[in-house]
């Protein structure tokens, strides 16, 4: 029987309830084991030596003194990680980023590493490694890097996507374009046009748990890796390829995760830990310091975006255009491309054109950060949309409602939408009490919309029924936002048993088939689909066993509310058999009962949100305070509503930090000035108001329960919503994120001086 | 207490299971008298550090910025953990945590600006350990309690190999991370004067967040009023506006004789903005610090004036 993923419109008994989280007790008692909590007998301490230069040729490395230090068991450089990438450019970049091969490309780039008997010896050993650098000119700003006079980060890079292959190398790796219609014609039809340029600074995901792993490579070619990750199967693939191991012989176990938000979708120091272990012949534990996390993991892009939008007097947008430049760090990426795809995704547009440029800079390699690239594009577009509404004399919400995409709209990035939530979230915002809350002096209200694709992908799940009738569910998507709770609810729903009888775990890479990582808000979407499929397979076996127990044909058995029922009047005397009854007899009816599933979860429904925000600005200092904040988002179906609300609030909280204070600050020397939580200012609790949420449920037709991903969209609107609120509070359009007090005060002073 | 300090010591090299203890490279002592502490500090060969709350020291050690050979824990020295009310005012021992200042009603009533400054440092947890003497000797231009202490004309009792001396707190820091204390010297107490009637002080800092942050710029103001409510004496200090906390004497002068009218406040802001010698850095720009130094001085003066009973 093939699995039918279509939405069935059933009534739910478990899905939609709010049981306590299964990982809660472990986490509040400190028992939960995070990356750094795993230890092995004989393990060594690994530490990484990092470049102090933003851009430098590594002329030579002398590790001899470090090797002679008592207690040092291994010292490695790029030579210990030979290039096995076989022409795979993306893998080569990962290798080079793990350990610089010829040039150090950013402040913090790994250049050597040691494994020693203790941290102090390891630290001393790092000081004994002598490196001869030839310092090169560097560039950290996205606009400066895109300029043709900028220092070249990689002279083998020629811009892709141009009509003619360029003659000269460039820091711009790729140009991409999306859209349809004719924007020139569209702008000619417009009565009002807004055209503006925006900048956003680089931010970090700010997860509290630093990257941490224990690597153990055995002489027989087997290896184990315990690691904090969003995707242990992907880590296995990458590490195996870089180290020359067979994937099946590298067993990767994911720990509890203290936040990832996209930053743990990528290997950083894990190949280094494995290489150290291989050389030392002992397990190696490698834990990044906070300074290393900021300098050498993967923050999001800094951006520079130009937007032009035109509309007729009646409020119809006639054309929309954006040029987006995103920093990638020193390696090619597709960040501007994603920004160019998402920029106008909320709107129904006849004429739209977006162009993205990927720009290399001497900063750490850009990684995904929650709906990567979308928040910056939304900031630019939603700021311009707000300004255009003002010029038209239309209400900001009404203007968006008039132009919102709907079912059947051809999106700005190509596909035609199915049933979507942008219109409903706008209508919900229009009637939300927040919109009527009174504002005092120096306070402003802003709103903005956001879009995210959501992903599905490869998924493999096992569901095992114990002889006592309880169910263990083994999934391969790391639980970053409550998926163990939601998947247990889904298993309970499908089997018709109580949630308390299901226990979900994240299995290691040797226990399940390949799973894509937990990104693209896919964890609950894809693994719930696989869980439903696995449960349905288990139900098939349960019905079989019931038929055996009753000695009737299996065709006469149905499954209802956790019980096998014998259909038809002739079986009137047979009382239903519960899952527990059947499981108890499994030893004599054919052995263990399990359901397995492997699938590619297609049809992740796109997601939309609209946020409202009230901000108070101190006009004398530029200080801001978030007074009220409301998130309205389509969840498709909220499996565990408390977790969904948590995702909505979490995205808003991160967006507030990004909008107001968070930024990577580089000195003229190309060194990161604020690699710590003191001066990289994520919000503290007292910075945030209660973030109100409203869940809309517009079922995803491609999921049996209507589920859509919910994790990422919530960070897309905040930059714009807050910028609109600040701009409304102070009467000056803010175009540079973060809107830190010095930037707001400077904008106000400039306005006062006219 | 002892056990807890032992834990701090171990944290350096032994806080994690994977750290081997390397005690012989660092000596930790806990003297019972000032003389012993000063003696040990004076004869130390390598870098020596004083441990009171440790909220700066341990962070810097953990970050690998300093590796002292000797740590002198001063918390067991008699009297250093006490606040004494004397005939002249208050004597705050060098090991008194800032949170304890906030629990001392008499001190809070007399010097609310000093206490509010001390209770802005770090977080609640940090305030349970950190001290105003440590804040002063860490010699950060952004130290929260220092502008308030300077405005309050606080004095520091310095003990050293050649005896004791009492100096104005503003003479202790000489630049970021540097102090005027000689080898073997330590501060054993901070002295605050007894308050006359109609006196008030206040401290304000600018941070982009609501708490757990470091001043981008700050201002401390200390005033006394005459019978008619006019300002009789005034001291204004600015933090994070120059390499050391600034005592802006001209700003104090401009307040004297006034009742904080609009024009005086304007002049105060102008003088404070002009007195700043700030830098552009990760926490703020020159222009921002100049402008906000003036704004904070106005606001702190207004609060101090109200606290002094001015209307």
| pLDDT tens digits along A738-752 | 999 999 999 999 998
Contact indicator for A403, A317 with CB cutoff of 8 Å: yes
A-chain residues near B22 (CB < 8 A): 118, 120
The burial class, CB within 10 Å (0-12 / 13-18 / 19+), for A71 is: middle
Q: Which of A460, A418, A411, A415 is nearest to A601 (CA)?
A: A460
- Distance from the A620 Cα atom to the nearest Cα atom in chain B, whole angstroms: 7
B262 CB neighbour count, 10 Å cutoff: 8
Structure tokens at A403: 């132009």
* Residue-wise pLDDT tens digits, A574-631: 999 999 999 999 999 999 999 999 999 999 989 999 999 999 999 999 999 999 999 9
Q: Closest partner residue to B291 among A673, A674, A745, by Cβ?
A: A745
The shortest CB-CB distance from B19 to any of A118, A687, A745 is to A118
All residues of chain A having their beta carbon less than 8 Å from the beta carbon of residue B15 are none
pLDDT at A358 over 70: yes
pLDDT-derived band at A311, boundaries 50, 70, 90: very high
Whether the Cβ atoms of residue A615 and residue A604 lie closer than 8 Å to each other? no
The answer to whether A681 contacts B209, with C-beta atoms less than 8 Å apart, is yes
Dihedral sign of CA atoms A475, A476, A479, A481 in order: negative
**Predicted confidence (pLDDT) per residue in A436-493, tens digit:** 999 999 999 999 999 999 999 999 999 999 999 999 999 999 999 999 999 999 999 9
Instruction: Tell me what pLDDT residue B62 has.
Output: 85
- Distance (Å, rounded) from C-alpha B23 to C-alpha B310? 58
Segments in A462-567 forming alpha helices (H): 483-495, 523-550
Cβ contact (<8 Å) for A686 and B210?
yes
Task: Quote the pLDDT of residue B274.
Answer: 97
Contact A120 B13 (CB under 8 A): yes
Mean pLDDT of chain A: 97
Residues of B within 8 A of A116 (CB-CB) are none
What is A670-694 written as a DSSP string? S-BS--STTTS-PPPGGG---EEEE
Find the mean pLDDT for residues A413-434: 97
Q: For A285, which residue in chain B has the nearest alpha carbon?
A: B18
| pLDDT at residue A704 greater than cutoff 80 | yes
Question: What residues of A are in contact with residue B204 (Cβ under 8 Å)?
Answer: none
Q: What is the mean pLDDT of residues B121-144?
A: 96
Q: Where are the domains of chain B?
A: 2-73, 83-193, 199-307
Q: What pLDDT digit, counting tens, does each position of A208-241 carry?
A: 999 999 999 999 999 999 999 999 999 999 999 9
How far is the C-alpha of A491 from the C-alpha of A480, rounded, in Å? Answer: 19
Question: Is domain B83-193 in CATH 3.40.50.300, yes or no?
Answer: no
Residue B8 pLDDT: 32
User: A205-241 as b/e, with b when 16 or more CB fall inside 10 Å?
Assistant: bbbebbbbbbbbbeeeeebbbbbbbbbbbbbbbbbbb
What pLDDT is attached to residue B1?
Answer: 30
- Cβ pair A701, A603 in contact under 8 A: yes
What pLDDT band is residue B95 in, cutting at 50, 70 and 90? very high
How large is the average pLDDT for residues A387-414?
98
Burial of A53 (0-12, 13-18, 19+ CB in 10 A): buried
Instruction: Give the model's confidence band at B65: pLDDT under 50 very low, under 70 low, under 90 confident, else very high.
Output: confident
| B186: enclosing H helix or E strand | strand B186-193
Residue boundaries of the structural domains of chain A: 24-32+456-601, 35-136+210-257+264-296, 303-454+605-752
Residue B64: per-residue pLDDT: 81
Segment among A531-540, B54-63, B163-172 with least mean pLDDT:
B54-63
- Decide if pLDDT at A549 tops 60: yes
Quick check: A123 contacting B, CB < 8 Å?
A: yes
The per-residue DSSP string of A163-221 comes to: SS--SS--SEEEEEEEEES-HHHHHHT-SEEEEEEEEE-------SSPPEEEEEE-TTS
The reply to whether residue A740 touches residue B208, judged by beta carbons under 8 angstroms, is yes
B-proximal residues of A, 271-310, CB under 8 Å: 285, 291
Looking at every residue in chain B, the average pLDDT score rounds to 91
Q: Identify the CATH number of the domain defined by range A24-32+456-601.
A: 3.30.365.10
Asked if A267 has any chain B CB less than 8 Å from its own CB, the reply is no
Which tens digits make up the pLDDT trace of B162-208?
999 999 999 999 999 999 999 999 999 999 999 999 999 999 999 99
pLDDT at B20: 39
Residue that the structure tokens 């005033």 belong to: B223
Interface test with A, best of B240, B282, B292 (most A CBs within 10 A): B282
Among A661, A683, A742, beta carbon nearest to B285: A742
pLDDT at B17 over 50: no
Chain A contacts of B291, Cβ < 8 Å?
621, 745, 749
Distance from CA of A126 to the nearest CA of B (A): 12
Residues of A within 8 A of B285 (CB-CB) are 742, 746
Question: Which fold does the domain B2-73 belong to in CATH?
Answer: 3.30.43
Q: What angle do CA A383, A367, A653 make, to 5 degrees?
A: 50
User: Per-residue pLDDT for A681 more than 70?
Assistant: yes
- Nearest-neighbour CA in chain A from B294: distance (Å): 10
The CA radius of gyration of chain A, in Å to the nearest whole number, is: 27
CATH number for B199-307 (one of 3.40.50.2300, 3.60.140.10, 3.40.50.720, 3.30.390.50): it is 3.30.390.50
Q: Which residue of B273, B291, B298 is the best one to mutate when testing the A interface, meaning the one whose CB has the most A CBs within 10 A?
A: B291
What secondary structure, in 3-state letters, does A324-347 show?
EEEEECECCCCHHHHHHHHCCCCE
Q: What percent of chain A has a predicted confidence (pLDDT) above 70?
A: 100
pLDDT in tens, A37-63: 999 999 999 999 999 999 999 999 999
What's the confidence (pLDDT) of residue B67?
Answer: 86
Report yes or no: B245 and B146 within 8 Å, Cβ to Cβ: yes
Beta-carbon separation of B213 and A745 below 8 A: no
Model confidence band, residue B9 (pLDDT cutoffs 50, 70, 90): very low
Q: Is the CATH number of domain A303-454+605-752 3.30.365.10?
A: yes
Residue of A nearest to B288 (CA): A742
Mean of the pLDDT values across residues B206-220? 96
Indicate the pLDDT class of residue B15, thresholds 50, 70 and 90.
Answer: very low
* Calpha distance A152→A181 (Å, rounded): 36
Q: What per-residue confidence (pLDDT) applies to B14?
A: 32
User: Cβ contacts (< 8 Å) between A121 and chain B: which residues?
Assistant: 20
- Chain B positions touching A660 (Cβ under 8 A) are 208
Reply yes or no on whether the pLDDT at A322 is more than 60: yes
Note whether A712 and A371 are within 8 A (CB): yes
Rounded average pLDDT over A421-429: 97
pLDDT at B21 over 70: no
Helix (H, G, I), strand (E, B) or coil at A469: coil
The two most distant CA atoms of chain A are separated, in Å, by 92
Identical fold for domains A35-136+210-257+264-296 and A303-454+605-752, yes or no, is no
**A686 has a chain B CB within 8 A of its CB:** yes
List, for residues A146-203, the tens digit of each pLDDT value: 999 999 999 999 999 999 999 999 999 999 999 999 999 999 999 999 999 999 999 9
CB atoms within 10 A of CB A2: 5
pLDDT value of position B23: 39
Q: Which of A430, A374, A377, A380 is nearest to A401 (CA)?
A: A430
Residue A722's pLDDT band (cuts 50, 70, 90): very high
> Closest-CA residue in chain A for B19?
A118
Would you call A161 an interface residue with chain B, using a CB distance cutoff of 8 Å? no
Q: How far is B236 from chain A, CA to nearest CA, in Å? A: 19
Comparing alpha-carbon positions, the chain B residue that sits nearest to A671 is B282
Q: Is A741 an interface residue toward B (CB < 8 Å)?
A: yes
Supply angle C-alpha A208, A91, A597, rounded to 5.
70
A35, B87, B108, B193, B261 from B223: Cα distances, Å: 55, 21, 16, 13, 15
Interface-testing mutation among B13, B19, B20, B281, with chain A (most A C-beta atoms within 10 A): B20
Nearest to B282 among A43, A118, A679 (CB): A679
SS3 A34: coil
For an interface test with A, the pick among B15, B216, B280, B288 (most A C-beta atoms closer than 10 Å) comes out as B288
Distance CA B76, CA B69 (A): 20
Chain B positions with Cβ closer than 8 Å to A = 13, 16-20, 22, 63-64, 206, 208-214, 216, 281-285, 287-288, 291-292, 295
Chain A residue with Cα closest to B18: A118
Say how far apart CA A536 and CA A530 lie, in whole Å. Answer: 10
Residues of chain A with Cβ-Cβ distance to B209 below 8 Å are 661, 681, 683-684, 686-687
Cα nearest neighbour of B292 on chain A? A621
**Cβ-based contacts of B64 with chain A (< 8 Å):** 123
A618-677 residues touching B, CB cutoff 8 A? 620-623, 660-661, 665, 673-674
Report the distance separating Cα A397 and Cα A435, nearest Å.
Answer: 10
Residues of B in contact with A742 (CB under 8 A): 284-285, 287-288
The mean per-residue pLDDT over the stretch A92-112 comes to 98
Contact between chains at A118 and B22 (C-beta distance less than 8 A): yes
Q: What is the dihedral of CA B164, B165, B171, B173, to 10 degrees?
A: 0
Look at the block and give the residue holding tokens 């994520």.
Answer: A682
Cβ-defined contact of B282 to A665 (cutoff 8 Å): yes
The yes or no reply on domain A35-136+210-257+264-296 and CATH 3.40.50.620 is: no
Q: Which residues of B touch A622 (CB under 8 A)?
A: 288
Rounded mean pLDDT of A540-564? 97
Do residues A198 and A307 make contact, with C-beta atoms less than 8 angstroms apart?
yes
Instruction: Tell me the two tokens of residue A474.
Output: 């083994």
């Amino acid at each position: 029987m093939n699995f039918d993923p279509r939405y069935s419109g059933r009534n739910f008994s478990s899905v939609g309830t709010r049981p306590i989280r299964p990982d809660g007790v472990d986490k509040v008692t400190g028992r939960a084991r995070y990356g750094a909590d795993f230890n092995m007998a004989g393990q060594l301490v690994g530490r990484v030596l990092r470049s102090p230069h933003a851009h430098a040729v590594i002329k030579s490395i002398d590790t001899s003194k470090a090797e002679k230090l008592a207690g040092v068991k291994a010292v490695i450089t790029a030579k210990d990680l030979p290039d096995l990438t076989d022409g795979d450019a993306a893998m080569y970049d990962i290798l080079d980023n793990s350990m610089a091969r010829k040039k150090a490309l950013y402040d913090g780039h790994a250049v050597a590493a040691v494994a020693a008997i203790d941290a102090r010896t390891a630290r001393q050993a790092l000081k004994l490694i002598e490196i001869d650098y030839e310092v090169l000119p560097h560039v950290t700003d996205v606009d400066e890097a895109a300029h043709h006079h900028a220092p070249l980060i990689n002279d083998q890079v020629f811009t892709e996507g141009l009509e003619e292959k360029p003659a000269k190398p460039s820091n711009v790796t790729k140009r991409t374009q999306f859209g349809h219609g004719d924007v020139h014609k569209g702008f000619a039809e417009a009565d009002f046009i807004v055209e503006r340029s925006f900048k956003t600074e680089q931010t970090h995901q700010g997860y509290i748990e630093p990257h941490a792993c224990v690597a153990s490579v055995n002489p027989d070619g087997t290896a184990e890796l315990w690691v904090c990750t969003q995707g242990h199967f992907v880590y296995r693939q990458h590490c195996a390829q870089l180290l020359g191991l067979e994937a099946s012989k590298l067993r990767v176990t994911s720990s509890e995760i203290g936040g990832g938000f996209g930053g743990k979708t990528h290997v950083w120091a894990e190949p280094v830990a494995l290489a150290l272990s291989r050389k030392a012949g002992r397990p190696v534990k490698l834990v990044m310091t906070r300074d290393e996390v900021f300098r050498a993991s993967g923050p999001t892009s800094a951006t520079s975006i130009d937007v032009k939008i035109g509309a007729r007097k009646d409020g119809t947008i006639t054309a929309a255009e954006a040029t987006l430049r995103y920093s990638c760090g020193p390696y090619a990426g597709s960040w501007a491309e994603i920004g160019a795809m998402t920029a106008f995704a909320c709107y129904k547009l006849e004429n739209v054109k977006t162009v993205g440029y990927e720009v290399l800079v001497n900063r750490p390699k850009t990684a995904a950060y929650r709906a990567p690239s979308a928040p910056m594009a939304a900031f630019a577009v939603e700021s311009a949309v707000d300004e255009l509404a003002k010029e038209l004399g239309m209400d900001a919400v009404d203007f968006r409602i008039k132009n919102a995409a709907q079912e059947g709209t051809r999106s700005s990035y190509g596909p035609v939408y199915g049933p979507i939530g942008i219109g409903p979230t706008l209508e919900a915002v229009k009637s939300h009490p927040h919109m009527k809350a009174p504002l005092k002096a120096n306070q402003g209200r802003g709103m903005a919309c956001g879009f995210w694709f959501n992903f599905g992908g490869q998924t493999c799940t096992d569901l095992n029924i114990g002889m006592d009738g309880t169910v263990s569910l083994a999934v391969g998507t790391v639980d970053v936002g409550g998926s163990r709770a939601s998947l247990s609810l889904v298993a309970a729903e499908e089997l018709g048993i109580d949630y308390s009888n299901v226990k979900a775990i994240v299995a290691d890479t040797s226990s399940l088939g390949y799973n894509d990582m937990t990104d693209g808000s896919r964890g609950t979407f894809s693994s719930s689909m696989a869980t439903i499929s696995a449960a349905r397979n288990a139900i098939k076996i349960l019905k079989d066993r019931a038929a055996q127990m009753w000695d009737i044909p299996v065709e006469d058995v149905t499954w209802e509310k956790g019980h096998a029922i014998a259909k038809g009047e002739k079986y009137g005397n047979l009382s239903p058999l519960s899952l527990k009854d059947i499981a108890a007899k499994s030893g004599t009816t054919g052995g263990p009962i399990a359901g397995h599933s492997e699938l590619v979860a297609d049809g992740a429904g796109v997601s939309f949100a609209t946020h409202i925000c009230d901000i108070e600005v101190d006009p004398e200092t530029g200080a801001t305070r978030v007074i009220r904040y409301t998130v309205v988002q389509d969840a498709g179906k909220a499996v565990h509503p408390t977790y969904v609300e948590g995702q909505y609030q979490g995205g808003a909280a991160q967006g507030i930090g990004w909008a107001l204070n968070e930024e990577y600050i580089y000195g003229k020397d190309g060194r990161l000035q604020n690699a710590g939580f003191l001066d990289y200012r994520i919000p503290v609790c007292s910075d945030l108001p209660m973030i109100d949420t409203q869940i809309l449920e517009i079922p995803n037709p491609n999921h049996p329960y209507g589920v859509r991903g919910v994790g990422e969209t919530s960070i897309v609107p905040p930059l714009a919503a807050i910028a609109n609120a600040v701009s409304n509070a102070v009467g000056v359009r803010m175009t540079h994120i973060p809107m830190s007090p010095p930037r707001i005060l400077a904008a106000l002073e400039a306005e006062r001086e006219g | 207490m002892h056990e807890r300090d032992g834990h701090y010591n171990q944290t350096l090299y032994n806080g994690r299971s994977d750290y081997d203890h390397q005690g012989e490279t660092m000596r930790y002592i806990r003297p019972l008298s000032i003389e012993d502490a000063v003696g040990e500090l004076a004869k130390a060969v390598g870098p020596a550090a004083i441990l009171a709350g440790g909220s700066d020291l341990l962070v810097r050690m953990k970050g690998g910025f300093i590796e002292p050979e000797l740590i002198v824990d001063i918390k067991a020295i008699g009297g250093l953990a006490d606040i004494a009310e004397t005939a002249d005012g208050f004597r705050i021992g060098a090991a008194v945590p800032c949170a304890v200042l906030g629990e001392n009603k008499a001190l809070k009533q007399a010097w609310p600006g000093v206490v509010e400054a001390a209770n802005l440092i770090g977080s609640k947890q940090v305030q349970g350990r950190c001290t105003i003497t440590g804040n002063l000797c860490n010699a950060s231009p952004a130290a929260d309690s220092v502008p308030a202490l300077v405005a309050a004309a606080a004095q520091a009792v310095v003990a050293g190999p050649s005896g004791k001396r009492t100096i104005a707190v503003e003479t202790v820091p000489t630049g970021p991370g540097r102090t005027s204390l000689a080898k073997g010297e330590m501060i054993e107490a901070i002295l605050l004067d007894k308050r006359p009637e109609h006196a008030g002080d206040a401290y304000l800092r600018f941070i982009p967040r609501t708490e757990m942050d470091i001043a981008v710029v700050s201002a401390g103001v200390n005033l006394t009023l005459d019978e008619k409510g006019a300002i009789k004496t005034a001291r204004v200090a600015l933090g994070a506006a120059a390499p050391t906390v600034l005592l802006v004497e001209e700003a104090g002068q401009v307040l004297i004789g006034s009742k904080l009218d609009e024009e005086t406040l304007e002049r105060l802001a102008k003088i404070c903005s002009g007195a700043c010698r700030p830098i552009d850095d990760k926490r703020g720009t020159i222009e921002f610090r100049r402008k906000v130094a003036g704004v904070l001085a106005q606001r702190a003066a207004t609060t101090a004036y109200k606290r002094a009973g001015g209307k």
